Amino acid sequence: MKKVIAALGLALALAGTVQAADADPLNSSRWPDLQREYLNDAPVAFDPRIEVLAPKVAEDSMNVPVTVRLKGLPDVKRVLVIADFNPIVKVLDFQPLLAQPGLSFRIKLQQASPIRALVQTGDGNWLAGGVWVDAAGGGCTAPSTGRSAPDWAQKLNQVQGRVWRDGQNQRVRLRIMHPMDTGLAPGIPAFFIEQLAIVDDKGDAMLKLETFEPLSENPVFSFDLPDTGAVALRVVGRDNNGNRIDAKVQP
Amino acid sequence: MMARLLAALVAFALSVAAPAAAPFDYRLKPEKIADDTWVLIGSTEDITRGNGGNIVNTAFVVTKEGVVVIDSGPSRRYGEQMRAAIARVTDKPVVRVFNTHHHPDHFLGNQAYADVPIAALPATRAGERDDGGAFADNMYRMAGDWASGTEPQVAQQDVKPGRLTVGGHEFELIALEGHTAGDLAILDHRTGVLFAGDLVFLDRAPTTPHASVQRWLKSLDALAALGAKKTLPGHGPVHAGSAGIEQTRDWLKWLDQTLMQSAANGLDMAEVMRLPLPERFERMPLARSEFERSVTHLYGAYELRALDSVALPVLQQK
């Protein structure tokens, strides 16, 4: 019996250390579940090189601006963005490919929540960074505002874009007309962009991402890519109803 | 041992609870700034459970015919305590209340004046009606029980711009806009005091949730032309001269320039929020948080103008 107790004690002590090493700096009660659900319980190192920029308080719960900035982190394969306390947790899943691994976008928040970037590097390891955003909330259950405009369907998936080049890099900013309905407003089914990519003139993807309901209506993105000169970039994608996005952004 | 611990805990709980259980006293002390003219100066903080939303300036003018009240404060409790403070200064009844605009810290005390005609610009009345409920909820979220029992009481009368004489005071009611869709400024010709509402801030960063920067700048020009002797800003100290107008104009022009340049340079919102503040604003209370809020309120329009090159769709879709 004593042995069992000692073993239990040892196990508890070990569990304690493991937990301490992985302790969530944002101290969110959701984190252990999310780690299990999205990372299959893979170990995660919270890394100061992963910065999530967002306002401390969401002034507009339908449009909370987020920038993920990764400084000096080599070989990033994947950036998964989640919001712990949103009814739909996953925001986007980004594969930078040729692009820099940081990006900017806006999300809807239903209540105060951490917003996290989970970053996978080429060796398969996961790193994370994040920030708490306070919010009056309600961002996910309100109907999109554009639906009340008579011509919203004509504008669906239209892309506005602009490129800033400096010889080495180019910043691409995009706005895509889409209601990004979460399915949580009564009588309005989920209707959102699911896939997006920027491709070069040969049709090869320079970056791609999967996107989910919490992204704001008419989503705006900023990406940083290597400068490709005077060649027009193509933005391609589709929403969950099969509507295509296909547009050229002239440099 | 256990009993002692419990007793200590209870004593501690009581000592912590005691100040919180005080009757939510805003400790309003009217300050006389001119003949017949009194103001209640709020803190230059954000709304918290500590200050109960008393972050705003309100005022009253004691005329021969009765008291004219300018703004009623952030909660029912504030309105009631303001009315009690007025009664400590004068026996005269409150005969009229003005709301300078529809922001919650300026009109949620209206309930205390339910028996008095309350007047505001039409756009202000509409804002009180449309946003009042959400404002009261949010005041409760930020200020806690200070705001309990607070319901929006919409002004019943339209302000008619122009001169209005009450008990020997000739008030100029000036309909402006820019901080919100309806901003009432009141100049008392008798004393030369300008009640500027939130068109003017001093040593407290301006707020922009319903602002049009260009219209606001025009309204500041109109206020500057009045040449008031003293100005009560919506937030910040009473002052002679035009320091408040100048500083508010300086902030708005800087904000406009910064957002325009940021959009032209391709910055995203969260990046703009991190930009350094100019030295002259660095120590201004709430400069960083109001700048962040303003980026959320205003940047989308600047950004859209910068994204003017609509990309050509290469595929027609059904």
Residues of B in contact with A67 (CB under 8 A): 268-271
Please state, as a whole number, how many other Cβ atoms lie within 10 Å of the Cβ of residue A145. 12
**pLDDT band per the 50, 70, 90 thresholds, residue A6:** low
* CA-based R_g, chain A, Å: 20
**Domain assignment present for A5:** no
- Measured CA to CA, the distance from residue B188 to residue B229 in angstroms comes to 10
The distance of B117 to chain A (nearest Cα, Å) reads 33
* CA-based R_g, chain B, Å: 22
Instruction: Say whether B292 and A56 touch across the interface (CB within 8 A).
Output: yes
> Tokens standing for B279?
């030295």
The distance of B274 to chain A (nearest Cα, Å) reads 8
Instruction: Say whether B270 and A67 touch across the interface (CB within 8 A).
Output: yes
Residues 6+ apart with CB under 8 A from A77: A95, A96, A120, A121, A122
What is the tens place of the pLDDT at every residue in B3-61?
554 455 544 444 444 444 468 999 999 999 999 999 999 999 999 999 999 999 999 99
Q: Which helix (H) or strand (E) holds A205?
A: strand A205-211
Return the percentage of chain A with pLDDT > 90, whole number.
Answer: 77
Tell me the CATH architecture of domain B24-242.
4-Layer Sandwich (3.60)
| Amino acid B108: pLDDT | 98
Pure H helices in chain A:
2-21, 31-39, 152-155
CB burial of residue A134 (10 Å; 0-12, 13-18, 19+): middle
**Domain assignment present for A62:** yes
What is the tens place of the pLDDT at every residue in B60-114?
999 999 999 999 999 999 999 999 999 999 999 999 999 999 999 999 999 999 9
Q: Which helix (H) or strand (E) holds B78?
A: helix B76-89
Q: ipTM surpassing 0.90, yes or no? A: no
Instruction: Say whether A160 and B310 touch across the interface (CB within 8 A).
Output: yes
Residues of B in contact with A158 (CB under 8 A): 310, 313
The distance of A160 to chain B (nearest Cα, Å) reads 5
Residues of B in contact with A249 (CB under 8 A): 311
Domains in chain A, number: 1
**Domain assignment present for A143:** yes
Give the amino acid at B236: G
User: Count of alpha carbons within 13 Å of A216, Cβ hemisphere only?
Assistant: 19
**Domain assignment present for A164:** yes
The distance of A106 to chain B (nearest Cα, Å) reads 9
Task: Single out the residue of A129, A148, A151, A139 nearest to residue A73, CA to CA.
Answer: A129
Domain that holds residue A241: 31-249
Q: How far is CA A225 from CA A170, A188, A208, B227, in A?
A: 5, 36, 12, 54
Choose among A53, A173, A234: nearest Cβ to B274.
A53
**Domain assignment present for A16:** no
Residues of A in contact with B286 (CB under 8 A): none
Q: Are B214 and B296 in contact (CB under 8 A)?
A: no
Whether pLDDT at B267 is above 50 = yes
At A95, which CATH number?
Answer: 2.60.40.2470
**Domain assignment present for A19:** no
